[in-house]
């Protein structure tokens, strides 16, 4: 998942694993590097809007919703680019993804992680969770547990696929490269490989934080009809995402706190499912993406 902006002297970089490549986002734009079948690295860059030019991009919670929208939009475009390059194409003839497809993908994710856990929790707890003495926090904790269980099951299943394992290795390469930069280490494979594959600012941690935030938010809306519960859960996905974004931004600014590191521990542990140890070749691609994003920032100064 992309990081936000850090101190003025150094932007905070974040990224995303692609098919046979890595995408890195800085202050000025995003830079993708993908290894083609012939061994060459094909790159693509895209400039970003200045977040300081819009009031809404600085407003708490709302900026998180907009950041998530941008992340999904850019990520899908670059994923299509990487798929074309990895298949032997040039990556230049791709059509932009339609808004209908993006909305469909968003609704699918909302149904999987917002609506389905409620339905499963109700079926599992029928006759138990709906009694008068069980109308407090317990039903929401059960639903939250179902939501996290679905996430773990999903990651565990797709992580068995060889193609996905390669993507997860590039995910690890992305994290190692950014950690090396933040530690002022030499940006070479031998040095970068010494760092861990987990990173505090990761989309996996964002997903877990969203699961936890949703449990609290949904508990606050009280009881509704079955259809009303599903509707409110889907409708509140942007709010949950915005709050989760703010929590992660706060944690990222206070990593020197023992309490914050303790709270970040589950998200770091969960990344064992979404990262793999990369090869030096994969780290080289991640470094090329990182250095490309850094060059874009340098040109923008």
Q: Where are the domains of the chain?
A: 14-300
Query: What is residue 226's predicted lDDT score, i.e. its pLDDT?
Result: 62
Query: What is residue 9's predicted lDDT score, i.e. its pLDDT?
Result: 41
Question: Can you tell me the distance from the alpha carbon of 254 to that of 252, in angstroms, rounded to the nearest whole number?
Answer: 6
Query: What is residue 120's predicted lDDT score, i.e. its pLDDT?
Result: 73
Which residues in the chain come in under a pLDDT of 70?
1-11, 50-53, 93-115, 124-136, 222-229
Contact between 72 and 102 (Cβ < 8 Å): yes
Other CB atoms closer than 10 Å to residue 41's CB: what's the count?
A: 16
Half-sphere exposure of 192 (CA within 13 A, CB side): 26
Q: What is the pTM assigned to this prediction?
A: 0.82
Query: What is residue 2's predicted lDDT score, i.e. its pLDDT?
Result: 37
Query: What is residue 8's predicted lDDT score, i.e. its pLDDT?
Result: 35
Query: What is residue 97's predicted lDDT score, i.e. its pLDDT?
Result: 55
Question: Can you tell me the distance from the alpha carbon of 100 to that of 106, in angstroms, rounded to the nearest whole number?
Answer: 10
Query: What is residue 1's predicted lDDT score, i.e. its pLDDT?
Result: 38
Query: What is residue 223's predicted lDDT score, i.e. its pLDDT?
Result: 61
Contact between 42 and 91 (Cβ < 8 Å): yes
Query: What is residue 272's predicted lDDT score, i.e. its pLDDT?
Result: 94
Query: What is residue 201's predicted lDDT score, i.e. its pLDDT?
Result: 86
pLDDT in tens, 74-107: 988 999 999 999 999 877 755 555 556 555 666 6
Contact between 245 and 157 (Cβ < 8 Å): no
């Amino acid at each position: 998942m992309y990081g936000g902006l850090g101190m003025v002297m150094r932007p905070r970089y974040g990224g995303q694993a692609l098919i046979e490549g890595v995408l890195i986002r800085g202050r000025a734009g995003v830079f993708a590097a993908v290894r083609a079948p012939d061994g060459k690295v094909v790159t693509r860059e895209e400039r970003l809007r200045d977040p300081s030019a819009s009031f809404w991009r600085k407003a708490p919670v709302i900026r998180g919703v907009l950041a998530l929208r941008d992340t999904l939009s850019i990520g899908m475009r670059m994923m299509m680019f990487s798929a074309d390059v990895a298949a032997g194409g040039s990556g230049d003839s791709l059509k932009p993804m339609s808004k209908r497809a993006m909305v469909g993908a968003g609704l699918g994710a909302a149904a999987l992680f917002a609506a389905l856990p409620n339905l499963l929790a109700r079926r599992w707890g029928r006759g138990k969770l709906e009694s008068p003495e069980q109308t407090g926090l317990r039903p929401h904790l059960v639903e939250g547990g179902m939501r996290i269980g679905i996430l773990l099951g999903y990651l565990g299943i797709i992580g068995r696929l060889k193609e996905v394992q390669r993507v997860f290795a590039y995910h690890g390469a992305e994290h190692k490269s950014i950690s090396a930069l933040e530690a002022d280490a030499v940006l070479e494979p031998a040095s970068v490989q010494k760092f861990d594959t987990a990173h505090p600012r990761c989309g996996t941690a964002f997903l877990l934080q969203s699961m936890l935030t949703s449990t609290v938010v949904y508990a606050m809306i009280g009881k509704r009809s079955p259809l009303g519960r599903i509707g409110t859960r889907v409708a509140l996905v942007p709010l949950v995402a915005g709050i989760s974004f703010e929590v992660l931004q706060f944690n990222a600014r206070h990593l020197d706190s023992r309490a914050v590191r303790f709270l970040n521990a589950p998200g770091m542990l969960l990344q064992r499912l979404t990262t793999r140890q990369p090869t030096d070749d994969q780290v080289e691609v991640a470094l090329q993406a990182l250095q490309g994003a850094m060059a874009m920032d340098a040109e923008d100064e």
